[in-house]
Amino acid sequence: MSTYRAPLRDMRFVIEELVGLQDISALPGCAAVTSDLVSAVFGEASKFASQVLAPLNRVGDEQGAQLIEGEVRTPPGFKQAYEQFVAGGWNGLSGEACYGGQGLPNLVAMPVQEMWNSANLAFCLCPMLTSGVMDALTLTGTPEQRATYLPRLTAGEWTGTMNLTEPQAGSDLSAVRTRAVRESGQYRIHGTKIFITWGEHDLARNIVHLVLARTPDAPQGVKGISLFLVPKFLVAADGALGARNDVHCLSLEHKLGIHASPTCVLAYGEHEGAIGYLVGEESRGLEYMFIMMNQARLAVGLEGVALAERAYQQARAYAQTRVQGRAIGQTSEERVAIIRHPDVKRMLASMKAHTEAMRALAYSAAAALDKSRRHPDDGERKRNQALVDFLIPIVKGWCTECGVEVASTGVQVHGGRGYIEDTGAAQLLRDARITTIYEGTTGIQAADLVGRKLARERGATAHALIGEMRSLLPQLAGCANAAVAVAHAALAQAIEDLSAATRWVVDTQSSDPAAVAAVSVPFLRLWGVAAGGWLMARAALIADVRLNADVEPEFYAAKIATARYYAEHILPQSSLLAKIVVGGAQSVLAFSEQQF
């Protein structure tokens, strides 16, 4: 297995030159976020990722988490790595300063999270969920809950989880049956939750569960669900830990990948009932939980980027060193590295182009999130919040699907060696496969995109973003670089495809929602492909200017070459996807249940 090295140059290109770090630095509370600070943070994060986390990725996959007498034990080295993680202040990177965090914007924190995920996805799922709990309590917790829990969560002294689904419910949270019975200012929780990531472990002293449950008089359906804070160990007013709460791990799931991440079945209230505390108001639990879910969906989309990057690095390293066959047209008997074979070049170019486009889209969403929370103008905050809401299902759905595709291509580059566990290529594919499922499958993301994000505003944000894409075309047309001209032509067609498909979805949603649902996943993919092409074209335009200034010629030349590959090999998918969206619904709906 190759070592991991964070792609610092591309990360900095995206946040500084493509997305615009200066815009984020101008936001209230971000004046200290300079290029020098970013360089320092990224440098230290890269060292931690490559030197501490990455070496544990293999042992975590091989040994996994284990349940021993009701207690979960993490693989060797994980507890020590978490202690270093906490001691370095990494858990509070974007946490609020008033609770001990560093208060860095998401645009800076996201590349760091990408490094963690590339190095060791299973490990990083734990702090990712803790971050979501912090967000939920910051926005909906009581002052007492925030004062007691947030400093310890921010420090990483305690970790957090979210408990949504149950055996009978799956993704249908309206079927949640866990009960919460009022008792003297608190609640007794009874029920079983499944698929709880890092629901029990030995890394931290306490685990803070956010749990969906119903009070006895709650209405049926999603409107009757409330959110409760249920700590593993009860907490005194001063934060001291008390008795063990009545929540226990019954079993760990045996999974395809991310073996080091304990996925738990948790039992609440097998005895007297687990003590829980209401978060916010009763019957608004799902609304509050979506704060965590949106955070998690953006984070999971980033996992797709991270695993694609790791798979690309491994495939590239293997192709550079694996000697096999003669170069096409070669007459001597000399064997060459497989990176000289055209089809291997094609696969590596596809991996590289997808990964860079995904990174640009995910970081763009992070910048919009920062503006939605920090911008001094209310109108700008609302506009960026609408953009974040719109982009999250695309980032989550498209980036994770591409992550699986890139990881699979990485296995292919390795050939037969890729199918053998020793290279590590297979682990990346296995780990990536979950990302399209948890925090809502790709189908659920697509349903959210067409049924909520487009329908509730008649496509206003979508059309505005298409307009922004279209405004780039004159700049591309004015560039003399032949590769940029290719990007211009491909993007112009993709924008027309995207615009037509979006109009069809908006016009059809109210009259025939089943037809829209039948093609919602191709529609989500169309948005990912087109938005990725737009950002790659912008990157090529920036790179052309920098290249003409004789600055880092190899980097910028590679950026332009990658954008051209994307324009010629990936962006043309937009026409096919648009055709499927506009005309493919009836062939899906025509099947009867008996015909399957």
Residues tagged active-site: 439
**Rounded (10°) angle between helices 520-548 and 482-509:** 150
> Which DSSP category does 287 fall into?
H
Distance CA 334, CA 574 (A): 42
Number of H helices, E strands in the chain: 21, 12
Residues in the chain, total:
596
Distance CA 480, CA 457 (A): 39
Per-position b or e across 127-150, b if 16+ CB within 10 A of its CB: bbbbbbbbbbbbebbeeebbebbb
The dihedral sign for the CA sequence 41, 42, 46, 49: positive
Per-position b or e across 564-575, b if 16+ CB within 10 A of its CB: bbbbbebbbbbe
Q: Closest Cα to residue 390, out of 465, 321, 474, 291?
A: 465
Structural contact between residues 314 and 225, judged by C-beta atoms closer than 8 angstroms: no
Q: Which amino acid is at 158?
A: W
Q: Which amino acid is at 104?
A: L
The tokens describing 451, both together, are 């049924």
Q: With helix as H, strand as E and coil as C, how does 574-596 read?
A: HHHHHHHHHHCHHHHHCCCHHHC
Q: Which residue has the tokens 């420090």?
A: 155
Structural contact between residues 258 and 431, judged by C-beta atoms closer than 8 angstroms: yes
Q: Which residues, at least 6 apart from 530, have a Cβ–Cβ distance to it below 8 Å?
A: 469, 491, 494, 495, 497, 498, 571, 574
Per-position b or e across 415-436, b if 16+ CB within 10 A of its CB: beebeeeebbbbbbbbbbbbbb
Strand 241-244 and strand 206-214: the pairing is unpaired
**Angle at CA of residue 196, ends 190 and 199, nearest 5°:** 85
Structural contact between residues 264 and 254, judged by C-beta atoms closer than 8 angstroms: no
Bridge partners (DSSP) listed for residue 192: 267
Strand 241-244 and strand 247-252: the pairing is unpaired
Q: Closest Cα to residue 157, out of 109, 205, 97?
A: 205
Bridge partners (DSSP) listed for residue 423: none
Bridge partners (DSSP) listed for residue 72: 67
Other C-beta atoms closer than 10 Å to the C-beta of 120 total 30
